[in-house]
Amino acid sequence: MPGCETSERVVIAVERIVLLGLMGAGKSTVGPRLARRLGWRYVDLDREIERRAGQRVAEIFAGRGEAYFRLLETACTVALAGCRQAVLAPGGGWIATPGNLARLGPGSFRIWLQVGPDEALARLAGSPEARPLLAAADPLAAATRLLEEREPLYRQAELAVATGGRTPAEVVHEIVEHLRERGLAAAREV
């Protein structure tokens, strides 16, 4: 049928930015800075989960297990559905729950903050926040395995930014330049 093979360019406005990446990738350092630059609000999903549950993430894992934590994470995502002008920093495993991305609604622009497992662990060494999934006999092996499992999902991000050996300011600069070039709109073929 004439016209069936033609592809139409649809421009979807970027309503929100979702930062993806392994624990220690820099989501919670880059996120607030990026939000400030854009004049958007910043939402750290783990902090939001803690606020609603009245418990730290590590306490939720210890008391109710990871599956329960994932339910809270999804509930928090539902509460953010359709949010606009927001930089969201969910935990590194958020993207692995089927449907979480769709729950936010159209217009999510994913940015993968890339980091190697060894650098991620080095950064986390100074963090006051416990990471239950890395509290293993061999944290490097645990981080490596998580990255291997999640990389196919992280890879689907609209933008990937290498963070190794770079300051948060440099990472934010690269993201802002990229968004500027795109005119804050992501285009896809349908």
List of residues 6+ apart from 17 with CB closer than 8 A: 34, 38, 40, 86, 87, 88, 108, 109, 110, 111
* Tokens read off for 70: 């994932």
Instruction: Tell whether residue 35 is a contact of ligand S3P (CB under 6 A).
Output: no
- In the complex, the smallest distance separating the C-beta of residue 58 from ligand S3P, rounded to whole angstroms, is 7
Whichever of 20 and 38 has its CB closer to ligand S3P, that residue is 20
Read off the amino acid at residue 134: L
- Contact between residue 140 and residue 189 where contact means Cβ atoms under 8 Å apart: no
- In the complex, the smallest distance separating the C-beta of residue 23 from ligand S3P, rounded to whole angstroms, is 3
Place of tokens 């999510």: 108
- In the complex, the smallest distance separating the C-beta of residue 9 from ligand S3P, rounded to whole angstroms, is 34
- In the complex, the smallest distance separating the C-beta of residue 170 from ligand S3P, rounded to whole angstroms, is 20
- Site for ligand S3P, residues 11 to 30, rule: CB under 6 A: 23, 27-28
Q: What share of the chain is helix, strand, coil (3-state, %, to 5)?
A: 50, 20, 35
- Site for ligand S3P, residues 100 to 129, rule: CB under 6 A: none
Whichever of 14 and 147 has its CB closer to ligand S3P, that residue is 147
Residue in 83, 133, 153, 160 binding ligand S3P, rule: CB under 6 A: 133
Separation of alpha carbons 5 and 136, rounded Å: 52
Letters for 51-90 (x = contact with ligand S3P by CB under 6 A, - = none) are ------x---------------------------------
Instruction: Tell whether residue 93 is a contact of ligand S3P (CB under 6 A).
Output: yes
Helix ranges (DSSP H) in the chain: 27-38, 45-53, 57-64, 66-79, 100-103, 117-124, 139-154, 168-181
What is the CA angle 54-97-81, rounded to 5? Answer: 70
Residue in 29, 31, 48, 92 binding ligand S3P, rule: CB under 6 A: 92
Instruction: Tell whether residue 33 is a contact of ligand S3P (CB under 6 A).
Output: no
- Contact between residue 171 and residue 113 where contact means Cβ atoms under 8 Å apart: yes
Q: Applying CB under 6 A, which residues contact ligand S3P?
A: 23, 27-28, 46, 57, 91-93, 131-133
